[in-house]
């Protein structure tokens, strides 16, 4: 190991050990300045206060002491007739503490300037994760069988997963425009007994990227906020795969029963439409915390479009091997998710 490298490593270790000490020392010095400034203010000596506090406001205070210092500096500027400087510090104060509420001990001058601004939630961004179940609904049967007799049907499988991100614009205090992107995995099954002896089974799995746009309305303005949601979604099918199984029932004997035929996992993306549309109806509850909230969301997505590509419906191998052809169907989804959103605020002069 070279000597210059050892020197650099030593300097880095010294800097690493010194940084926490320097930060604590700076906070202690700034606290002394703050206490001195408060005494000067009580004595009516306000001219020296900005010099004591301005530099410390950049990085030398804890969050609680920074509020004390900003409030004191605002008052000092107001009493010294330096209104523009007071408004500048008030804007910084509102940016740092957008959810601040006037306290009983706040001076009237501070309260008056504070009340001359309107601070509101401008937008929020969040992440969420959840689960979903898929309800496939047959609209029209197709296949190498009599659809009037052997209809068959879809059924739901075990829940799958989803995750996503959202950007939310606050239209009013109670109304939000929600723009989301969601990656989801969906699965469902189909079973049909044909002619009383041929049992057909398939399980299909989709991976989709959805882009919901919805409006949510808060029913209450408490810390716990139930809400309702209404919107629509466009989804891209990223992948589609399936397994087929054909077996026979009610044969003369087990020895003479034909061997079931089961497929490997097959890629059937070309048999699905490129995109889907859904209507969204839902609701949930938000739990407000400083600068954001946690939420629990429930929603039902009603399919508005068919998933089947009619040009590739009649795949000959699928028909002859597994006695199956896609009917026209749509997908509904029921989902539950939990997540967190961080709020961004904006302050404007009234």
- Fold of the domain spanning 121-349: Lipocalin (2.40.128)
Quick one: average pLDDT of 19-45? 73
| Helix 63-79 vs helix 49-59: crossing angle, to nearest 10 | 150
pLDDT recorded at residue 152: 78
Q: Are 112 and 106 in contact (CB under 8 A)?
A: no
Quick one: average pLDDT of 49-72? 86
Cα separation, 222 vs 226, in Å, equals: 9
Cα separation, 65 vs 347, in Å, equals: 22
pLDDT recorded at residue 10: 56
Residue bearing tokens 């209450």: 220
Question: Between β-strands 153-156 and 224-248, what pairing exists: parallel, antiparallel or unpaired?
Answer: unpaired
- Computed from CA positions of residues 128, 131, 136, 137, in that sequence, does the dihedral angle turn out positive or negative? negative
- Specify the pTM: 0.81
Burial class (CB in 10 A: 0-12, 13-18, 19+), 49: buried
Is pLDDT above 80 for 132?
Answer: yes
Residue among 225, 223, 337 at smallest CA distance from 285: 225
Q: Are 268 and 240 in contact (CB under 8 A)?
A: yes
Q: Are 197 and 250 in contact (CB under 8 A)?
A: yes
Burial of 205-231, coded b for 16+ CB within 10 Å and e otherwise, reads bbbbebebebebebeeeeeebebebeb
Is pLDDT above 50 for 220?
Answer: yes
Q: Are 248 and 260 in contact (CB under 8 A)?
A: yes
Cα separation, 321 vs 22, in Å, equals: 76
Reported as a pLDDT band with limits 50, 70 and 90, residue 194 is confident
Reported as a pLDDT band with limits 50, 70 and 90, residue 319 is confident
Burial class (CB in 10 A: 0-12, 13-18, 19+), 335: buried
Is pLDDT above 80 for 47?
Answer: yes
Q: Where is average pLDDT lowest: 46-60, 65-79, 80-94?
A: 46-60
Collapsing DSSP to helix, strand or coil, 200 comes out as: strand
Reported as a pLDDT band with limits 50, 70 and 90, residue 258 is low
Q: Are 223 and 255 in contact (CB under 8 A)?
A: no
Q: Please, what is the average pLDDT of the chain?
A: 86
């Amino acid at each position: 190991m070279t000597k210059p490298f050892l020197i650099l490593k030593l300097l880095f270790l010294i800097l690493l050990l010194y940084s926490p000490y320097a930060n604590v020392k700076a906070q202690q010095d700034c606290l002394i300045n703050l206490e001195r400034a408060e005494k000067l203010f009580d004595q009516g000596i306000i001219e020296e206060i900005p010099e004591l506090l301005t530099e410390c406001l950049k990085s030398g205070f804890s969050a609680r002491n920074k509020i004390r210092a900003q409030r004191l500096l605002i008052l000092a500027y107001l009493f010294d007739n330096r209104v523009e400087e007071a408004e500048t510090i008030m804007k910084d104060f509102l940016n740092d503490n957008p959810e601040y509420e006037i306290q009983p001990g706040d001076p009237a001058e501070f309260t008056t300037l504070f009340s001359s601004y309107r601070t509101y939630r401008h937008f929020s961004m969040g992440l969420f994760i959840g689960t979903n179940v898929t309800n496939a609904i047959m609209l029209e049967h197709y296949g190498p069988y009599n659809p009037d007799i052997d209809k068959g049907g879809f059924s739901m499988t075990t829940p799958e997963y989803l995750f996503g991100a959202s950007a939310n614009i606050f239209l009013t205090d109670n109304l939000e425009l929600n723009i989301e992107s969601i990656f989801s995995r969906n699965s469902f099954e189909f079973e049909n007994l044909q002619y009383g002896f041929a049992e057909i089974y398939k399980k299909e799995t989709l991976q989709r990227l959805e882009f919901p746009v919805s409006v949510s309305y808060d029913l209450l303005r408490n810390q716990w906020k139930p809400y309702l949601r209404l919107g629509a979604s466009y989804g891209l099918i990223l992948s589609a795969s399936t397994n087929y199984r054909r077996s026979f029932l009610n044969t003369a004997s087990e020895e003479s029963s034909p061997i079931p035929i089961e497929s490997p996992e097959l890629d059937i993306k070309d048999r699905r439409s490129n995109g889907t549309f859904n209507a969204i109806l839902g609701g949930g509850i938000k739990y407000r915390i400083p600068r954001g909230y946690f939420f629990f969301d429930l929603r039902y997505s009603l399919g508005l479009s068919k998933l089947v590509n009619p040009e590739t419906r009649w795949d000959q191998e699928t028909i002859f091997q597994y006695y199956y052809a896609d009917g026209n169907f749509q997908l509904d989804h029921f989902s539950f998710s939990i997540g967190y959103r961080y709020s961004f605020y904006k302050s404007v002069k009234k």
